[in-house]
Amino acid sequence: MLSLGFAFLLAVFPLYSWIPMLTEEASPYATGFLLWALPTFTVIFLLNFLDRYTWLRSTPQLSSAIQYAGVFMVASGGLFASQQKHIGRMMGYASIVETGLLLLAAGLRSTEVVNVTFLLLTPRGLELAVWALAISIIKRKVYSLRFSEVRGLARSYPVAVTSIILAHLSMAGFPLLAGFPSRAALWQELGGESLTISLWVFIGLLGLLIGAIRTLAVFVMAEENKAWELNETWVQVIMLGVGVIGLFILGIFPQVLQPFIANLPALFEHLGQ
């Protein structure tokens, strides 16, 4: 089991080398798409692989190894995010935390494994889209996305800053936002399997929440006499507004997702049995 765990850790560890560089240098749109697409398709492929091969699905060591890799990503990604001083890198580490949550869901020994996994996948695209669009707006104003460069921008780009914070809080599982129902469902399943894993998940999400609070503090740290402005275009305001409203709708009324995920277990008929 330990050897399998180390193998999965070696498989996911390269994320820590390319994601920070990608989020710092590349276009926010390309970054957001890659952070959504690669983990999503990988997890779906993993579920299909487990569903197809009975000997893998019935191996408890494999499930434990997947969960060890997920715990490592959630806990370490959250701790790195709590110490980060770059908005782009913060999005990257938040994505690592969410990928770890997806691995934890895929490794569940429960009949709800498919439902919980797709409940995590559904809001992920919206969160990253809102975050990437807001960062792209701010990036046109500042030379760098480091905290020292974006200090006080809440008064110049209030809509973009609000969107970044709400997307970040959603990824941290803040109540009333899109990420909360899926994390609550995952926590409920993990609580019945391992309290230790649940504790590490809490630590990782707490680190992500601390990162959001630090980011908000930097954005509002402006001179008192600085006037409030709206430098976003109306198109940008509408797009970000629709995204933010979507985050609240998915968080307050998660049942709207039921028609989309109700038939998904049929695609993986052997999982969770």
Give the pLDDT confidence of 30-68 residue by residue, as tens digits. Answer: 888 888 888 888 888 888 877 777 666 677 677 788 888
Q: State how far the alpha carbon of 265 is from the alpha carbons of 13, 103, 173, 225, 270, in Å.
A: 30, 17, 24, 56, 9
Residue 19 has pLDDT above 80, yes or no: no
Rg of the chain on CA atoms, in Å: 19
With CA atoms as reference, report the closest residue to 132 among 88, 95, 81, 180: 88
Q: Please name the residue that has the structure tokens 């803040």.
A: 174
Residue 135 has pLDDT above 90, yes or no: yes
Q: State how far the alpha carbon of 223 is from the alpha carbons of 147, 179, 199, 215, in Å.
A: 16, 33, 40, 17
Quick one: pLDDT at residue 2?
Answer: 45
Tokens describing residue 4: 């399998």
211 versus 192: the higher-pLDDT residue is 211
pTM score, whole prediction: 0.89
Tokens describing residue 19: 């994601």
The contacts of residue 9 (CB under 8 Å, 6+ apart) are 68, 69, 72
Q: Where are the alpha helices (DSSP H) in 107-194?
A: 113-139, 147-150, 158-171, 179-191
The contacts of residue 147 (CB under 8 Å, 6+ apart) are 85, 86, 87, 214, 215, 218
With CA atoms as reference, report the closest residue to 216 among 149, 168, 156: 168
Give the pLDDT confidence of 81-113 residue by residue, as tens digits. Answer: 999 998 988 998 998 899 899 989 888 877 778
Q: State how far the alpha carbon of 23 is from the alpha carbons of 56, 76, 82, 163, 223, in Å.
A: 35, 17, 16, 18, 29
- Band (22; pLDDT cuts 50, 70, 90): low
